[in-house]
């Protein structure tokens, strides 16, 4: 009977291994160290069902052609080539007799309409100028190798890695992440070619953009005939001039204008270059602006259009409303800010910091002073309070910490706006009796909170005795 059981177990194990060996894979990771051999590392049955492929190592034209086959005529949807290297050699990778070059994303190398995710090699140094790259989600650039990105089309989500410096001629993008290495957004970063028709705007493409704070310039045609559908648009912190025709926005959008911005151009130009006003333009929509500057920003508005902000609600720092209402307006006949619904807003506290994280006292009576910083530095309400977690160990008054006992405590500062907290840990290493070695055995010796002996204690004051007592005299 025992032999039968063992035999059955062996048969079941063999069957299990056989079934596993015939199970078709949907996800594979391959390290291809020999260019041209990628296809040999994926058995045919897996090529049919493969949906997710990650490749490291080296890829030549033969390998790229194989990958294209998996995408175009099989089921591959997710392709990660982040840590792969494109090298010269092998066969042509498409019917146009295009061949690979070292670290170059070549012409129509990745023009897939049915690919859901594509992460391009970090090692790539060049993107062929006429190349079309298609996928729902694309990650491109990195390691400061690829400086310019252009001619990417039919992409829902485009993530540009750090290192990319310039962007141009992107079409039909739905979401764009701009890295901090991009300093300038030039003419036609996104080109959605829909012309103005008379005084009405034509159809616009819609997209979401994540601006980097490092951007210093944004061309007036950066997002040509494109509507940003962000609920909140935060203009880059280093931007000095904002041409509102750089992009359009949806109704009721919130636009945050940084403190460093000094000039807003409200003109809209037709394709011929002449100035015009369009009823669908940003300036005529119900919008909400948060302006961080105490000093009114200069506005360049079209002729006889001084009321161009009449539908806008503009939040400005406390104490600046009279400046915005009554500014002698840069030589213009009227002040556009005065027609907006101006609301003075506080700048909310986002945190608080202490200059010390830990203090170690060697004896009772020692003192240290803490300094607190409210964040941001221009926050409206800078009020905060000092607290101690253990008044038997340490006390604090206006940042001055006094050790009064042996042990540990936490000194913390608490903001009035937002209840943000910053802490400093207090530790005392010696006994309270060491406050005065000469008189520690005497009675009725009093010390103030800085460790000085008091000959004539005053009523209502807090003192420390040489007997580890904290008393009010």
The model's pLDDT over 219-238, given as tens digits with 9 standing for 90+, comes to: 888 887 788 888 999 999 99
- Residues 284, 419, single domain; the answer is no
> What is the 3-class SS of the chain, one letter each residue?
CHHHHHHHHHHHHHHHHHHHHHCCCCEEEEEECCCCCHHHHCCHHHHHHCCEEEEEEEECHHHHHHHHHHHHHCCCCEEECCCEEECCCCCCCCCCCCCCCCCEECCCCCECCCCCEEECCCCCCEECCCCCEEEEEEEECCCCCCCEEECEEEEEEEEECCCCCEEECEECCCEEECCCCCCEECCCCEECCCCCECCECCCCEEEEEECCCCCCEECCCCEECEEECCCEEECCCCCCEEEHHHCEECCCCEEEECCCCCEEECCEECCCCCEECCCCCHHHCCCEEEECCCCCCEEECCCCCCCCCCCCEEEEECCCHHHHHHCCCCCCCCCHHHHCEEEEECCCCCEEEECCCEEEECCCCCEEECCEEEECCCCCCCCEEEEECCCCCEEEECCEEEECCCEEEEEEEEECCCCCEEEEEEEECCCHHHHCCCCCCCCCCEECCCCCEECCCCCCCEEEECCCCEEEC
In a domain, 13, yes or no: no
**pLDDT confidence of residue 464:** 66
In a domain, 8, yes or no: no
* CATH number reported for the structural domain that contains residue 414 in this entry: 2.60.40.1080
Q: For residue 268, is pLDDT > 70?
A: no
- Residues 244, 385, single domain; the answer is no
Q: For residue 407, is pLDDT > 90?
A: no
**pLDDT confidence of residue 280:** 44
- Residues 278, 145, single domain; the answer is no
Domain boundary pick from 312, 327, 345: 345
**pLDDT confidence of residue 435:** 40
Domain that holds residue 337: 205-345
Which pTM value belongs to this model? 0.64
Tell me the pLDDT band of 433, cut-offs 50, 70 and 90: very low
Q: For residue 329, is pLDDT > 90?
A: no
Q: For residue 304, is pLDDT > 50?
A: yes
Q: Mind listing the pLDDT tens digit for each residue in 154-168? A: 788 989 898 888 887
- Residues 467, 367, single domain; the answer is yes
Q: For residue 67, is pLDDT > 80?
A: yes
Q: Mind listing the pLDDT tens digit for each residue in 269-294? A: 554 444 444 434 565 678 899 998 88
- Residues 98, 212, single domain; the answer is no
- Residues 303, 356, single domain; the answer is no
In a domain, 164, yes or no: yes
Q: Mind listing the pLDDT tens digit for each residue in 167-203? A: 877 877 888 888 899 888 877 777 654 433 333 444 5
* CATH number reported for the structural domain that contains residue 25 in this entry: 3.80.10
Tell me the pLDDT band of 405, cut-offs 50, 70 and 90: confident
- Residues 172, 26, single domain; the answer is yes
* Average pLDDT value over all residues in the chain: 80
- Residues 373, 450, single domain; the answer is yes
**pLDDT confidence of residue 369:** 96
Q: Mind listing the pLDDT tens digit for each residue in 80-93? A: 999 999 999 999 99
In a domain, 39, yes or no: yes
Average pLDDT of the segment spanning 354-383: 90
- Residues 211, 316, single domain; the answer is yes
Domain boundary pick from 182, 217, 250: 182
The percentage of the chain sitting over the pLDDT mark of 90, rounded to a whole number, equals 34
In a domain, 427, yes or no: yes
Tell me the pLDDT band of 460, cut-offs 50, 70 and 90: low
In a domain, 372, yes or no: yes
Average pLDDT of the segment spanning 71-80: 93
Tell me the pLDDT band of 336, cut-offs 50, 70 and 90: confident
**pLDDT confidence of residue 466:** 56
- Residues 364, 335, single domain; the answer is no
| 124 or 460: which leads in pLDDT | 124
In a domain, 196, yes or no: no
Domain boundary pick from 345, 372, 398: 345
- Residues 401, 364, single domain; the answer is yes
- Residues 124, 153, single domain; the answer is yes
Q: For residue 298, is pLDDT > 80?
A: yes
Average pLDDT of the segment spanning 40-61: 94
Number of separate domains in the chain? 3
């Amino acid at each position: 009977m025992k032999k039968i059981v063992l035999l059955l177990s062996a048969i079941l194990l063999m069957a299990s291994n056989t079934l596993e060996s015939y199970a078709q894979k949907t996800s594979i990771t391959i390290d291809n160290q020999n260019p041209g051999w990628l296809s040999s590392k994926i058995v045919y049955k897996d090529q049919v069902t493969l949906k997710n492929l990650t490749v490291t190592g080296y890829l030549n034209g033969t390998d790229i052609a194989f990958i294209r086959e998996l995408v175009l005529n099989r089921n591959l949807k997710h392709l990660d080539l982040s840590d792969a290297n494109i090298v010269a050699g092998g066969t042509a990778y498409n019917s146009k007799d295009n061949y690979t070059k070292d670290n170059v994303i070549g012409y129509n190398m990745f023009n897939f309409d049915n690919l859901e995710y594509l992460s391009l090699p970090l090692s790539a140094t060049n993107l062929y100028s006429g190349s079309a790259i298609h996928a729902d989600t694309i990650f491109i650039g990195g390691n400061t190798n690829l400086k310019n990105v252009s001619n990417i089309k039919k992409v829902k989500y485009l993530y540009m890695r750090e290192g990319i410096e310039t962007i141009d001629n992107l079409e039909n993008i739905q979401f764009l992440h701009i890295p901090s290495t991009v300093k300038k957004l030039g003419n036609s970063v996104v080109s959605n070619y829909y012309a103005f028709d008379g005084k009405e705007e034509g159809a616009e493409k819609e997209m979401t953009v994540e601006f980097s704070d490092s951007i210093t310039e944004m061309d007036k045609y950066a997002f040509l005939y494109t509507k940003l559908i962000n609920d909140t648009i935060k203009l880059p912190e280093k931007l000095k001039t904002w041409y509102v025709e750089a992009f359009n926005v949806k109704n009721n959008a919130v636009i945050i204008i940084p403190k460093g911005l000094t000039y807003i151009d409200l003109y809209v130009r037709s394709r011929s270059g002449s100035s015009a006003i369009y009823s669908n333009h940003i300036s005529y929509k119900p919008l909400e602006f948060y302006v961080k500057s105490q000093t009114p920003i200069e506005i360049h508005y079209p002729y006889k259009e001084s009321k161009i902000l009449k539908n806008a609600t503009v939040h400005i720092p406390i104490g600046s409303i009279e400046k915005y209402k009554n500014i002698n307006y840069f030589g213009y006949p009227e002040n556009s800010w005065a027609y907006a619904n101006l609301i003075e807003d506080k700048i909310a506290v986002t945190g608080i910091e202490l200059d010390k994280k830990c203090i170690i006292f060697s004896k009772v009576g020692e003192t240290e002073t803490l300094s607190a910083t409210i964040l941001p530095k221009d926050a409206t309400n800078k009020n905060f309070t000092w607290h101690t977690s253990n008044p038997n160990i340490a006390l604090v008054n206006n940042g001055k910490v006094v050790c009064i006992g042996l042990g540990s405590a936490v000194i913390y500062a608490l903001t009035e706006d937002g209840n943000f907290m910053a802490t400093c840990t207090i530790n005392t290493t010696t006994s309270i009796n060491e406050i005065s070695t000469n008189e520690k055995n005497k009675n009725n010796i009093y010390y103030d909170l800085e460790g000085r002996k008091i000959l004539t204690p005053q009523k209502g004051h807090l003192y420390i005795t040489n007997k580890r007592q904290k008393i009010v005299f």
